[in-house]
Amino acid sequence: MPAIILAGGKGTRLKPYTALIPKPLVPVGDEMPILEVIIRQLSRQGFKHITITVNHLAELIRAFFGDGKKWGVKIDYSVENKPLSTIGPLTLIKDLSENFLVMNGDILCNLPYRDFYRYHIRRNNKVTVSTYKRDVKIDFGVIGYDASGSINKFSEKPEFHFDVSMGVYCLNRSVVRSIRKDEYYGFDNLMLDGIKSGAGYEAKPFKGFWLDIGRPEDYDYCNDNFESIKKKLGLRK
């Protein structure tokens, strides 16, 4: 069960934390980097070969994680010489397995990665996306009106519910081989192209715990509540 962790971004949303260190090395709960949490989880669930895609401050990530022996995994690296977004970096990885797990290097969740990977295999999917229901509250009174400006609808601070990508997916290598090598290509491009071609990519909803640490509010929440979050993540010192 191979895994690829995307860790090449600049982490602009988390500045000033990321001014001197890459986002995956930003500590959570003053205990360990985000990326170490992910690697511990993957190792515990049987993912023993992990490729980390790096770009921004790549040398710091490589110096910290090395070959992965400390965590009981084999770690290698794929270096981007320019930003390639989320899916583009996969085109640079040699000897891709037929199927593999891909995830962002800035999320914390208790998704059972092994079960998710096996589900992808059983379904014989080209792409399987783990999704999470996110509530978005609008802190304003929202007004609706017709073409003449006559108000016909009002909602005070409405809340909307969206199924969002968790930043965790499984891919078949045939999908990567259809993308031009070393070109900017994002997850949004993958989804839109898949929908257009009728590729039949599948969403798999998840109802557990999930935080996007790249968002400042989620990062602050994690630090304020890390003791309880550790239990949800199954972390051990």
Using CA atoms, how far residue 42 sits from 38, 82, 172, 193, 205, in Å, is 6, 27, 19, 29, 20
pLDDT tens digits, residue range 26-56? 888 878 888 999 999 999 999 999 999 998 7
**Spatial contact of 201 and 129, defined as CB atoms under 8 Å apart:** yes
User: Which CATH number goes with the domain that contains 173?
Assistant: 3.90.550.10
Residue 37 tokens read as 């949490």
pLDDT tens digits, residue range 57-103? 788 999 999 999 999 999 999 998 888 899 999 999 988 999 999 99
> Residue 219 pLDDT > 90, yes or no?
no
Q: How many percent of the chain have pLDDT more than 70?
A: 94
How many domains does the chain fold into?
Answer: 1
pLDDT tens digits, residue range 178-194? 999 989 999 999 999 99
> Residue 16 pLDDT > 70, yes or no?
no
Average pLDDT, integer, range 112-141: 95
Rounded to two decimals, what is the model's pTM?
Answer: 0.88
- Which pLDDT belongs to residue 21? 75
Binning pLDDT at 50, 70 and 90, where does residue 205 land? very high
Residue 215 tokens read as 């968002």
Question: Domain of 138?
Answer: 2-233
**Spatial contact of 78 and 91, defined as CB atoms under 8 Å apart:** no
